[in-house]
Amino acid sequence: MSIVDAHVHVWDADAFPIPWFRDDLGLPRAASAGAFRGVAEPCGVTTAVAVQVADTVQEAHWLTAVAATDGVLSRAVLQYEPVPGRVLGATAFEGAAFSGIRAAVPQFAADLSDVPGLDALADALGAAGRVLELLVRPEQLEGAAALARRHPATPIVLCHLGLGHGAATDAWRTGLAAFASSGNAHAKFSGLLSPTRTDAELSALARTASALFGSDRLMFGSDWPMSARTHSYADVVDAVSRAMPGTPAFWSTTAARLYPLP
């Protein structure tokens, strides 16, 4: 089975400082595209999307250059930290490797309408044929749903099901259902493996996500190398394979359509 990994990180913490990086996190100071290929290609990965980990323009240019030249990690999603007075437009980066922007959204209004530049960014990305990714907490899913309804022409992708390692509560399910109700809403089944989450719990998440999004709005992401702290790449693929039906849309074609991939 050919796999597209829709959520990978590469970085060089010495060349491009990462605000959240600490040596005690158990992560390498450099996570290269070559290291990713070494673990991913044996598992059937043919293409991947790199998501920026910091938010500097210098790192963004470096990441898009990596994606433009690497044979597997061929698309880049850049990071936008919404702060007053700063708006990163979708036309700031050109070329096929640039596929979208991820907004790491702190808590603002219930519908996210007061996040600086977010609505303008969503419009610009939709017009440019790029995606808007969201990194939000479960309590912000209703806001993500409102954002998706305001921008029906923009593909909006939720990282880590809006859950990550958190508890799958009824409130999370309700918020995820609200977000998924918009046809332009998509999600990555990524960043969900943890030492405390059982196979049964992962399968329950897969059933919930599949019921809400279907295979054509849901895609696989490894969250490498964050995931490598507790699971090998092969273990991630194996665990998700057991939890999720093996549809081509989930494993490859949804991501290939959204980003779009070669």
Q: Report residue 242 CA to chain centroid gap.
A: 21
Scanning 110-198, the segments in alpha helix (DSSP H) are 118-127, 141-150, 170-180
Q: Where are the domains of the chain?
A: 3-258
The CATH class that applies to domain 3-258 reads: alpha beta
The DSSP letter of residue 72 is: S
Between the CA of residue 77 and those of 63, 73, 112, what are the distances in Å? 9, 11, 21
pLDDT, one tens digit for every residue, the chain (262 residues)? 799 999 999 999 999 999 899 999 999 999 999 999 999 999 999 999 999 998 788 898 899 999 999 999 999 999 887 655 454 544 456 777 999 999 887 766 778 888 888 898 899 899 989 999 999 999 999 999 999 999 999 999 999 999 999 999 999 999 999 999 999 999 999 999 999 999 999 999 999 999 999 989 999 999 999 999 999 999 999 999 999 977 999 999 999 999 988 6
Give the three-class secondary structure for 49.
strand
Model confidence pTM above 0.85: yes
Radius of gyration of the chain (CA): 17
Question: Of 138, 131, 134, nearest to 163 (Cα)?
Answer: 138
